[in-house]
Structure 1
């Protein structure tokens, strides 16, 4: 599937996405990409965030490919069955483990628990880091298996964000291009 034939919805996670983050760079590089803007970035509400995502998907004029980061991955898993008619695929990067003791409470996002374990109703790929502070590698592998995604080991890449040195993240762009080709 060609990027120009899809609406790419970039679904960031908790907190403000800072300039230079790969999500914003991808939005600048792909004409059909746009960031899903949530109202409360530091007080996430599953219902509000899901309503926004569903609205963005409904507004799309072409088939949709979702790109989630961190809590954005978990949001996509929660909403997958409501989105399945227009979504052709999801590229999931560094999911955060909101079921982990204390994480959701620390970031005021308790209503994202429990994380769904049902297979996603569309093609998906999950990229995980071996030293992500918000999700153990084995837990990310378990998400991938439960959701029925292909899985990519990103090595020791932290949370795959600015803090871990992933502004441009060219390896991610190449991996995403391969994912898009698989959607055929």
Structure 2
């Protein structure tokens, strides 16, 4: 049995042509819906992710993009990770500490830098307008996550030409292939 995918979008959510939305339609899963997609706070966004995790049955794999990646890090810092969270695919983490970032992301500036309590793969672009590859590598190292480059892929969103994002599906497949179900306890 494969884990249920929980999609964690970033600012503005992920529109109908974004790979997260297309993947959810293709693979199923649950989408985290925030009260205000343009006013993220680590507390409220992590709390909503926690609610979704608690309400979803089975083993879980988090699939996050952009500010959604920071939501996963905030969740891991604020809540005892559910043993059902088997791992995370963290795509295009933004560098919200940069001075040129939109004001809406300022509340996210205290990026948690502790190791994540579950395996994670950080997927980063070498020409992301919201983070250098070096910064993505620093975050991956702090989170004790694996890092993979997808070359020059922009922010890995619709604007950078990533709708279906077949390369991402391959990475998701690799994460799912590496996933090990918890031991079955027999009575």
- Measure the CA separation in 1 of the matches of 2:151 and 2:65: 17
CA-CA distance at 1:109 after TM superposition: 2.5
Moved over 2 A (4+): none
- Measure the CA separation in 1 of the matches of 2:106 and 2:154: 23
Aligned length, in residue pairs = 178
Q: Structure 2 unaligned runs (5+)?
A: 181-187
- Measure the CA separation in 2 of the matches of 1:83 and 1:179: 22
* 2:149 maps to 1:160: no
Whether contact under 8 Å (2:47, 2:75) holds in the other structure is: no
Equivalences for residues 87-126 of structure 1 within 5 A: 87-103=85-101, 106-126=102-122
SS in 2 for 1:61: coil
- Counterpart of 1:128? 124
Q: TM-score, normalised by structure 2?
A: 0.91
Whether contact under 8 Å (1:12, 1:23) holds in the other structure is: yes
Whether contact under 8 Å (2:43, 2:74) holds in the other structure is: no
Deviations 1:1-21 (A, max 9, x none): x5xx32210000001422111
Deviations 1:14-56 (A, max 9, x none): 014221110001101113x121111101111222211110000
- Measure the CA separation in 2 of the matches of 1:44 and 1:59: 22
- Measure the CA separation in 2 of the matches of 1:83 and 1:50: 12
RMSD: 1.2
Q: Structure 1 unaligned runs (5+)?
A: none
Equivalences for residues 15-164 of structure 1 within 5 A: 15-31=12-28, 33-81=29-77, 82=79, 84-85=81-82, 86-103=84-101, 106-164=102-160
Q: TM-score, normalised by structure 1?
A: 0.92
